[in-house]
Amino acid sequence: MRFDRVIVVDWSAANLPTSPTQRANSVWIGCSDAEGSIEWHHRTRAAAEAQLVTLIQTAVADGLRLLVGFDFAMGYPAGFAKRLTGQAKAPAVWAWLAEAIQDGPDNRNNRFSVAARVNGLFPEGPGPFWSHPTGQHWPGLPYRRSGIDYALLGLAESRAAEVAVPRAKSPWMLFNPGSVGSQSLLGLPMIHRLGRIDGVAVWPFGPYDDAPVVLAEVYPSLLAGEVAILANADGLTADQAQVRLLSRALHTLSARDQLEPLFDAPFEAVEEGWILGAGHAARLSEALTWA
């Protein structure tokens, strides 16, 4: 399980192009390989996806094996894919969202209306998605979690991955600090598109051992302490610091043939997805101390 280059992407659910100077909440792309580390930021998701396509195609053309990590959930709790698409497979959800989500070149998108539409497929009670900006009203999309009976819906509130990494939020939560739900709704259509490029596999949803490019879910907050130290010392946004450090840690482990244990995942992961490195935060931290 060795990769020549590792990319980590801090995704954004911004509804407008982010500030050209205040770069928090932009999309950040961090890249580490034997030559060192570099980061780029993008004000829009469209620009970021275009660069990712170029980075993937360049790596394949150069004969380099590439790992790309994205900081949003690549699946939902078991049972949701079947309910939404008729197939108990996360890629079917990606394809459904690729058709439903409208995400313009200026970041304007319809994620809340899509979430409300999905909730409407659950007539037995309020659907699974919740939370939106204060002052907005989306019929069928509750502002608060209270009142949603996940057992009645036949779903869990969180994936097994969030149970293993308790700081990670459920993908049902769409807004407010720490939420990942909006990033997932806006990121999974891209995973659908990237996954159709020749040579690209998405872990852990199919064979990936020999794929030139592997896409995976990551959680940069596994290195929260190190990220805070670097951001404060160098005056970086937390987003830039975390893509730099996580891409560096993963590449270092790969170069020493110590990355494979991070790919261990339970059986639920085939449908729900899994966080690469869950349960291995100490090993990631240690890798950053190696010269």
What mean pLDDT is predicted for residues 95-104? 98
Other Cβ atoms closer than 10 A to 169 = 17
Contact 5, 66 (CB under 8 A): yes
pLDDT at 1 over 90: no
What mean pLDDT is predicted for residues 93-106? 98
Which tens digits make up the pLDDT trace of 202-237?
999 999 999 999 999 999 999 999 999 999 999 999
What mean pLDDT is predicted for residues 52-57? 98
Cβ-defined contacts of 155-160 (< 8 Å, 24+): 155/76, 155/77, 155/78, 155/79, 155/80, 155/83, 155/128, 156/77, 156/78, 156/79, 157/77, 158/77, 159/73, 159/75, 159/76, 159/77, 159/268, 159/272, 159/273, 160/266, 160/268, 160/269, 160/272, 160/274
User: Backbone phi, then psi, for 276, in 5-degree steps?
Assistant: -60, 120
pLDDT at 291 over 70: no
